[in-house]
Amino acid sequence: MADCIFCKIVAGEIPSEIVFKDDRVTAFRDIHPVAPTHILIVPNKHIASINELQPEDEGLMGYLFTVERKLAEQEGIAQSGFRSIINTGPDSGQEVHHLHLHLIGGQRMRHPMG
């Protein structure tokens, strides 16, 4: 998608603090972190949201979580805990219409959610 900010980050057209990248996903630090660790993990393939997933994307979605686990270990938050969030649609607060997984941790999370 020509106007998608996350597609531009994946393509290297917009600078970002990339912490992981391979042929399937890119992970980078959120520019407005809500915790000491706040990393966005995005598929390199443009998928607008969970509502746009296709059966062939099942493996990719599992891979997002595998990468998240590795990044949590790398960040030193795997044992203390972290939050995984995927927002879908306007009521969830999804601002960028490119599916992305938030890895948030490094502090005690607050409740309630929502």
DSSP 93: T
Measure the CA–CA gap between 20 and 25, rounded to whole angstroms: 8
Q: How far is CA 37 from CA 19, 88, 96, in A?
A: 12, 22, 20
| Active site (annotated) includes residue 97 | no
Tokens representing residue 16 in the block = 């970002």
Out of 32, 46, 98, 100, pick the active-site residue.
100
Q: Is the N-terminal amide bond of 112 cis, ω within 30° of 0?
A: yes
Taking the CA atoms of residue 22, residue 59, residue 92 and residue 41 in that order, the dihedral angle to the nearest 10 degrees is -10
Active site residues: 100
